[in-house]
């Protein structure tokens, strides 16, 4: 394996300079734009089921000592209500290829006009594009998903997605019938919203008490999708008082900055939370690494029954400082959300820790 492959954690070539890199994963026969005259097919049987989120999480924990966590969709109400026909079989938006959409709505409109959209594995299997496709009422096509680790994209309807992909590869272009479209619509709405993902995290971690400290020092100034989606979801749960240690202002409705300067142009996650959800107990990030700031963080952590660490890799030193200051390790719920799979040493450390860990990417194809 070459050094660049080792750094990426994959033996696959990097797509740099190859705008057709992801396009190559889909059979040429499926690059059909118009939906006219295509047959209608049932891709999902009437009795089709997917494993429950809890059952999958428990099985993952038995295997790896951690729970799975995926990206989620912060604005589930954007799911189209009109189920009518669409002009396009396959969306023209292809991963890795440049696009010129000025707004997120214009970007989603292309998916809303299509039945299917190519949405491949990139740095890892979990990408926000899968959700943008699903919550536009379309179905993402994920080549090679059948070879992925059982706990990659653990929260997604993988059985149905694999069935759709294999059927199209075997039988050629066809349009999904109403039952198939309704299945994906209902699954996404019930299980892939940020609130639903946060409910699963709270259930599996056994978050206790009403006060939850959300710790991610970098999130205030730099977007981390998984951390941002998790904070949004937890803030929407009733019965919890979620206190961001360092408040990311761009997540709240009263933000007046230029969201286009944020990662991904701010599409999907900015100005989602009501201003009333802001906490008056959040700390000043400018004081984060000072002695006074550390004392304030320890005091705030001590006042909370649970501490969710939105980006464990980026906040490991803070976590260690809090534990050394006397905050019990059992209070911590830590998220490892890198595109790259944790190495064996980290998996062993997480499995043996008194903290609870959630992981986004798992070993395998």
pLDDT, tens only, 88-136: 999 999 988 877 788 899 999 999 999 999 999 988 999 999 999 999 9
Q: Is the pLDDT of residue 7 over 70?
A: no
Only one residue has tokens 């295997």, namely 63
Q: What pLDDT does residue 260 have?
A: 85
Query: Would you say residue 8 has pLDDT above 80?
Result: no
- Given a cut of 50, whether residue 1 has pLDDT beyond it is no
The per-residue pLDDT for range 156-186, each reduced to its tens digit, is 999 999 999 999 999 999 999 999 999 999 9
Per-residue pLDDT, averaged over 336-363, amounts to 96
Determine the angle formed by the axes of helices 291-302 and 312-324, rounding to 10 degrees: 80
Using 50, 70 and 90 to split pLDDT, how confident is the model at 19?
Answer: low
**Domains, the chain:** 20-52+73-192 (no CATH), 196-359 (3.40.50)
Of 81-85, 97-101, 230-234, 256-260, the one with minimum mean pLDDT is 97-101
- Collapsing DSSP to helix, strand or coil, 89 comes out as strand
Crossing angle for the helix pair 194-205 and 225-236, to the nearest 10 degrees: 80
Q: Cα–Cα distance between 203 and 161 in angstroms, integer?
A: 26
Treating both helix axes as pointing N-terminal to C-terminal, what angle do 53-64 and 194-205 enclose, rounded to 10 degrees?
Answer: 50
**CA atoms of 261 and 195, how far apart (whole Å):** 26
List alpha helices for the chain, DSSP H: 3-8, 53-64, 104-112, 128-134, 158-171, 178-191, 194-205, 225-236, 291-302, 312-324, 344-352
pLDDT score at 22: 84
C-alpha distance across the termini of the chain, in Å: 15
Is 90 exceeded by the pLDDT of residue 13?
no
C-alpha of 129 from chain center: 9
> Is the predicted pLDDT of residue 6 greater than 70, yes or no?
no
Cα(180)–Cα(163) distance, integer angstroms: 11
Return the pLDDT at 103.
Answer: 87
Q: Give me the residue label for tokens 């109400």.
A: 77
| DSSP secondary structure letter of residue 226 | H
- How high is the pLDDT of residue 18? 59
3-42 in b/e burial notation, b at 16+ Cβ within 10 A? eeeeebbbeeeeeeeeeebbbeebeeebeeeebeeeeebe
pLDDT level of residue 215 (50, 70, 90 thresholds):
very high
Integer Rg of the chain from CA:
21
Is 2 a residue whose pLDDT tops 60?
no
Phi/psi for 43 (5° steps) reads: -100, -15
Per-residue pLDDT tens digits for 35-80: 999 999 999 999 999 999 999 999 999 999 999 999 999 999 999 9
* DSSP assignment of 251-307: GBTT--S-GGGSGGGGTTTTT-B-GGG--TTPPPGGGTTSHHHHHHHHHHHHT-SEE
Per-residue pLDDT, averaged over 294-316, amounts to 97
- Kindly report the length of the chain: 365
């Amino acid at each position: 394996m070459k050094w660049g492959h080792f750094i990426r954690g994959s033996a696959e070539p990097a797509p740099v300079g190859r705008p057709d890199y992801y396009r190559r994963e889909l059979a040429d026969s499926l690059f059909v734009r118009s939906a006219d005259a295509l047959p209608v097919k049932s891709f999902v049987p009437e009795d089709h089921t997917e494993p429950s989120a809890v059952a999958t999480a428990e099985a993952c924990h038995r295997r790896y000592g951690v729970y799975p966590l995926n990206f989620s969709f912060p604005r589930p109400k954007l799911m189209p209500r009109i189920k009518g026909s669409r002009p396009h079989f396959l969306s023209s938006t292809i991963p890795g290829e440049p696009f010129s959409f000025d707004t997120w709505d214009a970007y989603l409109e292309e998916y809303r006009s299509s039945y299917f959209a190519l949405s491949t594995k990139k740095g890892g299997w979990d990408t926000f594009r899968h959700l943008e496709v699903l919550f536009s009422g379309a179905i993402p096509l994920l080549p090679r998903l059948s070879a992925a680790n059982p706990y990659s994209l653990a929260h997604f309807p993988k059985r149905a997605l694999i069935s759709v992909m294999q059927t199209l590869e075997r039988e050629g272009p066809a349009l999904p019938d109403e039952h198939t479209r309704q299945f994906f619509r209902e699954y996404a709405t019930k299980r892939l919203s940020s609130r639903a993902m946060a409910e699963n995290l709270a259930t599996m971690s056994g978050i206790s008490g009403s006060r939850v400290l959300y710790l991610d020092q970098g999130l205030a100034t730099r977007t981390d999708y998984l951390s941002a989606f998790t904070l949004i979801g937890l803030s929407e749960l009733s019965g919890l008082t979620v206190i961001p240690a360092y408040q990311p202002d761009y997540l709240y409705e009263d933000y007046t900055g230029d969201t286009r300067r944020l990662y991904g142009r701010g599409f999907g996650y900015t100005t989602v939370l009501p201003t009333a959800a802001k906490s008056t107990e959040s700390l000043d990030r400018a004081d984060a690494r000072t002695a006074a700031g550390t004392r304030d963080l320890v005091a705030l952590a001590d006042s909370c029954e649970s501490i969710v660490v939105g980006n464990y890799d980026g906040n490991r030193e803070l976590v260690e400082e809090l534990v050394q200051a006397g905050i019990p390790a059992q209070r911590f719920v830590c998220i490892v959300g890198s595109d790259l799979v944790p190495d064996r040493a980290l998996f062993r450390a997480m499995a043996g820790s008194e903290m609870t860990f959630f992981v986004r990417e798992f070993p395998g194809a």
